[in-house]
């Protein structure tokens, strides 16, 4: 995919993506952990490229993440239909209130807590990765670590298949630049009570390299 910018959180993810690429025009950059640093770094990279007269044509947030048990298997590849700022909002005695339901003017929400994947880019990735699980990918600033919070997220987002920490930030930067966006994840662990022994990082990185071929 000529002119594609792929953003990961950490260098190990970037290396896994690069190992699967065959197109030298695809740029891969690790931009840091969390939506704020990922969004800021993405915006800077897009601005510098445009100023240099070499603008990118599309943006992909890629890496590993957690998957909702029963919706996606460990080692599977996920393509996001939308990237959701899942913990952006307010708590209340009745439960979590998403930011777009707090009565704020739409112009203050930067497009709201959800950014949809570009339909054409998503369709191309789905065609190249026919076994990928397709659904919403949640962006969180605090990784989910209890059964109760996992269930609450699953109930609030019945179409969600995975969670990570950068997609929404990258998506907002792409949207402000007017560029197509998509999110690609491979699953290293089930979302829920934190159990490092259940994580399958090697499998997830191997799957990420395999999935990266679709970006070439």
Count how many domains the chain has. 1
**Angle of CA points 145, 147, 149, to nearest 5°:** 70
- Between residues 193 and 68, the one the model is more confident about: 68
Residues spanned by the domain of 139: 4-215
Helix (H, G, I), strand (E, B) or coil at 155: helix
Helix (H, G, I), strand (E, B) or coil at 7: strand
Q: Mean of the pLDDT values across residues 154-182?
A: 96
Exposed, middle or buried by CB within 10 Å (0-12, 13-18, 19+), for 119? exposed
Report the alpha-carbon distance of residue 98 to residue 79 in Å, rounded: 23
Report the alpha-carbon distance of residue 99 to residue 60 in Å, rounded: 25
Exposed, middle or buried by CB within 10 Å (0-12, 13-18, 19+), for 146? exposed
pLDDT at site 108: 61
The CATH number for 140's domain is 3.40.50.1580
At 92-122, the pLDDT tens digits run: 787 787 777 777 766 666 667 889 999 999 9
Residue 198's pLDDT band (boundaries 50, 70, 90)? confident
Q: Given a cut of 80, is residue 129 above it in pLDDT?
A: yes
At 11-22, the pLDDT tens digits run: 999 999 999 999
The answer to which of 6-20, 81-95, 146-160 has the lowest mean pLDDT is 81-95
Q: Given a cut of 80, is residue 89 above it in pLDDT?
A: no
């Amino acid at each position: 995919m000529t002119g594609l910018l792929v953003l990961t959180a950490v260098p190990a993810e970037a290396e896994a993506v690069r190992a699967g690429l065959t197109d030298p025009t695809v740029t891969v950059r690790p931009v840091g952990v969390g939506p704020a640093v990922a969004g800021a770094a993405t915006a800077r990279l897009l601005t510098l490229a445009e100023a240099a007269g070499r603008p990118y044509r599309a943006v992909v947030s890629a890496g590993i993440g957690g998957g909702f048990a029963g919706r996606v298997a460990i080692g599977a590849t996920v393509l996001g239909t939308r990237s959701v700022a899942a913990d952006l909002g307010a708590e209340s005695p009745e439960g979590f209130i998403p930011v777009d339901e707090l009565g704020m003017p739409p112009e203050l929400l930067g497009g709201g807590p959800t950014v949809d994947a570009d339909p054409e880019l998503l369709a191309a990735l789905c065609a190249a990765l026919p076994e990928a699980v397709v659904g919403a990918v949640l962006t969180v600033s605090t990784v989910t670590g209890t059964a109760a919070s996992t269930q609450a997220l699953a109930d609030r987002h019945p179409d969600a298949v995975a969670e990570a920490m950068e997609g929404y930030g990258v998506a907002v930067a792409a949207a402000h630049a007017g560029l197509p966006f998509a999110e690609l994840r491979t699953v290293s662990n089930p979302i829920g009570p934190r159990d490092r022994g259940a994580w399958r990082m090697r499998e997830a990185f191997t799957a990420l390299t395999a999935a990266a071929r679709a970006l070439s």
